Amino acid sequence: MKVVIYTKYGAFQIPAEIHEEIGCECGTEIDDVYHCYGLDIDRHDARLVKAVEARADADGDFHNLRVVTIPDDVEYRIEEYDGMEWIAEKHRTWA
């Protein structure tokens, strides 16, 4: 399974051109520069993955987005620190 994550500090955002291409609604308004903040589709949505992969540079990044491949049978969650994200396998915790 392929999942899109944000690789820099700050809020997750995707370029407005991808929002328009995949036809999803924006969580907030598109700003007057480049990005649309928020996302109302799953990060493993094939349309989102395809759009990011099609624009990724040699390092695999596009506007601080990266496609990460994980095993298909993994239940995952996206964790972050100050906006920089990574994928973690879901597990149970108690306090």
* Cβ neighbours of 39 (radius 10 Å): 20
Structure tokens at 4: 């899109």
46's CB contacts (< 8 A; 6+ apart) are: none
pTM: 0.79
pLDDT at 63: 76
The per-residue pLDDT for range 12-43, each reduced to its tens digit, is 777 777 877 877 665 555 554 445 555 667 88
- Residue 28 is classified by DSSP as S
Residue 28: predicted pLDDT: 53
Assess whether pLDDT exceeds 70 at residue 78.
yes
Contact indicator for 65, 4 with CB cutoff of 8 Å: yes
pLDDT at 29: 52
Query: Has residue 67 got a pLDDT over 90?
Result: yes
